[in-house]
Structure 1
Amino acid sequence: MSLLAAAKAKSSNHGYVPDFVEVAMVPFIKDIHKRGIRVVCNAGGVNPHACATALQQVVKKADLDLKIGVVTGDDLMLMKDLLKEAGITDVDNGSPFPANVQSMNAYLGAKPISRALDLGADIVITGRCIDSGIALGPLIHYFGWKQDEFDLLAAGSLAGHLIECGAQSTGGIFTDWHRVPDWDNIGFPVVECSSDGSFVLSKPPKTGGLVSFGTVAEQLVYEIGDPRRYQLPDVICDFSQVTLSEVPDVEGGAVRVQGARGLPPSDNYKVCATYLDGYRATAVCPVGGSRAVEKGRRTAESILKRVRRMFKQMGLDDFKSINVQILGSEETYGKHAVKKTDSPRETVIWLAVHHMQKKALEIFSREVAPAGTGMGLLF
């Protein structure tokens, strides 16, 4: 959202995801119309009307008649001062409301999507909304599920949750990755839903990847917090009694999912805000040779020391924050790192810096490049 907000700040016609229009829709718009496919997407970002306008031009150029619906109401920028006065703070660290907020959007649910489909929209563009709502909205529309049928809403939300991250549920993040065939042609997941809320998750034939109990189970618990109280705008989901059953004799695998339960939602919405907080630069440098870990750390420290000396000479403030990791030394694992007696012969410096002035990071970037020869990073 921060990238889209920055794009909109540069041009009022920007702020949505252009790939949705140019890559996902332009090549297929005639097939979508011919087959009567209805499309729902949250590519509107912080400027859904601009996304719809761009898409309307595609429809017009193809000489087609398609109705485009736009879901709005998530943009809370007009309420910025009111929320600041209410004492809203950062949910993670309690820091005060930022002074330079660039965007502020509520995560809307599935109801406005289903309403747009009820009104005959062939394509529905939303701004910020929950990812699972992209699937739940069409299910509410098609099956006529009611607002208080919470078990069904939870089931539809689970269907959306399992496919919202694309190939993750077809083996993309599977712990047993070595069992997943043909990653280069991995298929995206497909859910076939029934009116009772049960559904089968599979993938298109002749595609790579894998659908199994394990791949689906790992995606089920992805980013939901408490599986008994996964809070969404339409329903609070209880996934603790969900059952996964592999369907036999399906190419690439298939899993039947059922047992989701739902509770009434809260009267609150999650809000995502972005704000300007300086600039960030990252350098990634390979280090080879004996004692590569020590060499990498000394190199990073030397780059920082040199740049800080230049900052002082030029009257610039110090970095706001820095992060140095020597990849290959198991630093990523923290206290769980496996201690080794011998240093590896190759590592990678991961050096990230944060500064309030762009000029300072331009200096940092210039000083990283000469380290390749002046500090002998490779060998």
Structure 2
Amino acid sequence: MYVEMKDIEKHYGDFKASDHVNFGIEKGKLVALLGPSGSGKTTILRMLAGLENPDSGDILINGKRINDIPAAKRDIGFVFQNYALFRYMTVFDNIAFGLEVQKVPKAQIKERVMELIQLTGLSGMEKRYPSQLSGGQRQRVAFARALAPNPQVLLLDEPFAAIDAKVRTELRNWLKDMIHKVGITSIFVTHDQDEAVEVADEIIITNHGRIEQTGTPMEIYKTPETPFVAQFIGKSTVVSHYEQLNGFDSVAGAAQAVIRPEFVRVSKSGRLEQYMSAAEEGTVEEVVFRGNHLELTINIKGISIKAERSLEKDPVSVGEKVQVLIYRLYIFDENRTYLMENSAMQENDVFYI
């Protein structure tokens, strides 16, 4: 592994920001630290950068322990959430700053800066100031400045947080392509699931200072290992008394379940063509327009679940009786998550993850 954290602990008074954190990242990977606010992801990033020191444990890059190496000598590039560009410096001078601090010869600085300006799509903007740039352009300058000294690792703290939604989507694709083109090992912090899934090669999910799960976006989404991940990932509805639903038996120790919208099919009354014995009658409680689909809240035997309905299908309205087919759900105990298929549709009830 190229970047490693081994049994890292970090406290702020009585608050445990990192609780025996362990993970490894392969060289050249783009990895997302994903979790809710206060989960410890930014603390991990700051300890890697040398802006915070762990209370115990080891941080290694390329096999070398870096705990005692000052931040300025760790050979790490850092892109801050608010860009942290120098307002009175041009694009060229902002990108060149780190190289000038290292006293790199001017001819080499010019060559490197112009290479990065072209790489990041900033050609023709060399003499502009940050105030003359859009949010996306400022982010590209911050990215180029961090890459200028050829760091061995790039860290990004919520790199898209200060950018409007449309530009954010464009920058996600740009950043992923750029990092793979450059080939630099990169770690970015985010609380946005869509961002992590779209951009990252791997995701590390944090919660209360612990690592809940590590894996590819597909692995994290399809096979959540812990109750927290099952509830945190996706547009999940947590329900009790899932055993009241057709096709699902109670499992000892597993008192709750998670149902995702893609596990549910909603049909207008009398229109369901198969699996009638597995379906439920529900009442539509809420209909919310989400742009490319309708989000429904449906009450089944006192249990409220979320579902989605295509705009191409006949609309449903609040108070309408509908037929609801729940294909599967995740159930969980204190430690593990299980995928349960609707037994009226499948022969096997439970698959361990």
Fold match by TM threshold 0.5:
no
Higher strand share: 2
TM-score normalised per structure 2: 0.28
TM-score normalised per structure 1: 0.27
Higher helix share: 1
